[in-house]
Amino acid sequence: MQAVRRRIGTRGSPLALAQAREVRLRLAQAHDLPETEFDIVPITTSGDRIQDRPLSEAGGKGLFTKEIEEALLSGAIDLAVHSAKDMPTILPDGLIITAYPPREDVRDAFISPRHASLDTLPRGATVGTSSLRRQAQILRRHAHLRVTGLRGNVETRLRKLEAGDADATLLACAGLNRLGLRGRITSPIGPDVMLPAVAQGAIAIEIRAADDATAALLGAINHQETAICVAAERAMLAKLDGSCRTPIAGLATLSNGRLHLSGEILTPDGAQSHVSQREGPPQEALRMGEDLAAELVGRAGPDFFRALN
């Protein structure tokens, strides 16, 4: 194939760089090209710079994509690699998500140097997390525990845990696997116990909408099953108007040609939770997501989200 030199923009964290390298390797293998045809360009985002307060107070998940998308729109990079769960449901004009590599493990990981699981933590034990979704789900099932903030990249959070900042923490299995840290997982938490964040474990590749050449290049590494499942989850999230201030969980899976979608909304203290499911053909992924969101909103009532913002 003719040389296609492309610049891949990403955050500069170890996990983001590992994801960008995965995309680079998949592109090189799919098109029989050397990896040197794809340059990785680390970009510092607002979410990386803000360390003095929870992101929910600073503007939400778009803080991890804003500067990268600006670089994409300006032509400084040709494609952007994101953790799909960090992406707002509304993209800037002129940008599209065009590919998803195969999804990693969707589960949350319980990590503790002294305890085997959430169920074995003693009364008053602290669980460190910066995720409102995890906080709400923990308190929903384990009201006797305390949740404390724990910011930073994966390695930073693990160091804080070892230093005694908390008795346990929860991280995504996907990130630990991609960093070669699978051995740090004390026990994975199945989706039947704790629904993951929308798009957890998925990598989203964003490009300029008019860039047909890059879209064609990425078509070779798009994993259709992942794309369908994440589309259903993001459709649900968009209808719920979810933000970092809203504890929302969702997971879609494909089995025997049928799409299964589960969704959950909670109050941050875990006191209220509404859960529902949908099943249907994959081609109705977007409708299923929107329909499930409408049911959850109907169950929760019109003031549910208003009280959280």
What positions carry a catalytic annotation? 86
Phi, psi of 285 (to 5 degrees): -55, -45
CB-CB contact of 248 with 57 (8 Å): no
DSSP characters over 19-72: HHHHHHHHHHHHTT--GGGEEEEE---HHHH--SS-GGGTT-GGGGTHHHHHHH
Structure token pair of residue 175? 């990130």
Fill in the DSSP letter of residue 86: G
Question: Maximum distance among all alpha carbons in the chain?
Answer: 62
Helix, strand, coil abundance in the chain, percent, nearest 5: 40, 20, 40
d(CA 110, CA 154): 13
d(CA 120, CA 101): 36
Which residue reads 């208003």 in tokens? 306
Three-state secondary-structure class, residue 273:
strand
d(CA 154, CA 92): 28
Three-state secondary-structure class, residue 188:
strand
Sheet containing strand 187-189, strands side by side? 146-148, 126-128, 168-172, 108-111, 187-189
Residue 295: exposure state from Cβ atoms within 10 A (0-12, 13-18, ≥19): middle
Structure token pair of residue 188? 């994975």
Phi, psi of 221 (to 5 degrees): -115, 5
